Each structure stands twice: as C-alpha cells, then as structure tokens.
Amino acid sequence: MSIALAELGNIAERRIYRLISGQRELPEFLVAHPGLNSGFMIPQYAAASVVSQNKQLCTPASVDNITSSNEQEDHVSMGANAATKALRVVKNVEYILAIELMSACQALEFRGIENTSPFLQSLIREYRQSVPYVENDVLMYELIDKSLQFIKNHNFHLPG
C-alpha cells in the first residue's frame, strides 16, 4: 500500500512541477510577475521533499527484524511498524495532493475557469472560499494547510 501511495504522490508532484515550470502557456511559478515573486516554487519544493521521504518510508518493515524474548522469538512481526509507516505515507500524500489542488486551481485561474467544466468551476469557487488566488508572495504553508483542510472536509463526488 505504501509503495502504491508513494507512486501516487510522485505522480502528483511531477504534475505540480509541470504547472510551475513555465510550460503549457502558464507563467513560471504560477504567478503573474515571476522574479521577485517565487510563487508556487516553494510548495513544489515541499512536495518534492515529501515525495523523497515517502520513498524512504517504503522500505519494507519486514527487512528489519530482531530476535526477542531472550531469543525465544526469532522472527518478530513488524506489522505495527509497517502500519505506522503507511499512515505517514498516507498523510504525506494528502499534503502533496493539497499542493497539487492549490497549483491546479491557480493554473486554471490563468486560463479562465469559464474554460473548464461546470463541475470544476463549482469546485474552484468553493475552494476559493478557503484558499485565495495568489498574486504576490505570501506564506504558502498557511495556504497549503487550508488546502489540506479543504480536502479533508470536502466530500468529493464526481458528477454522473
């Protein structure tokens, strides 16, 4: 499970990178005036760091074993360790997805949200009640936290 989730986080971070890299007719760092404004560069760094941590957490817990009970138990289950590592990966992926949602909404604003589906237009309008459009440098961790809370509190259902 951890490996699959880590891969999901890795893919999401690569999509974030593509959005901030100045490709796809979007401005670098997803801000109108890149240069003095670092925009979404720092959130992408944060996502990349968490992706790296997830890769480290994906080492199977079973490879680290030690005898216990005065060597009466020569193979100890590391299931609890695997579960706590998996929980950290889950939380890390939530964080990465919060950054991706923040970046994707910012990118759609540059293109005009009227050019997307009614479902996404509605989602972005609701999202913007919690997480504002970024024009100039701000403390991005505050917006990432708000984005994360939006994901945790929102009931995502695709139309149809």
Query: Domains of the chain (ranges plus CATH)?
Result: 2-63+77-153 (1.20.200.10)
Say yes or no to pLDDT of 74 above 70.
no
Report which DSSP code applies to 37.
B
Least confident of 43-47, 93-97, 156-160: 156-160
Residue 2 burial (10 A CB sphere; 0-12, 13-18, 19+): buried
**What are the backbone dihedrals phi and psi of residue 146, each rounded to the nearest 5 degrees, phi first?**
-65, -40
**19, 103 in Cβ contact below 8 A?**
yes
**Residue whose C-alpha is closest to residue 30's, from 158, 143, 152, 145:** 143
* pTM above threshold 0.85: yes
Q: How far apart are CA 3 and CA 61, in angstroms?
A: 12
Q: Mind listing the pLDDT tens digit for each residue in 91-120?
A: 999 999 999 999 999 999 998 888 899 999
Say yes or no to pLDDT of 12 above 80.
yes
Q: Which residue has the higher pLDDT, 74 or 2?
A: 2
Residues 6+ apart with CB under 8 A from 100: 12, 13, 15, 16, 47
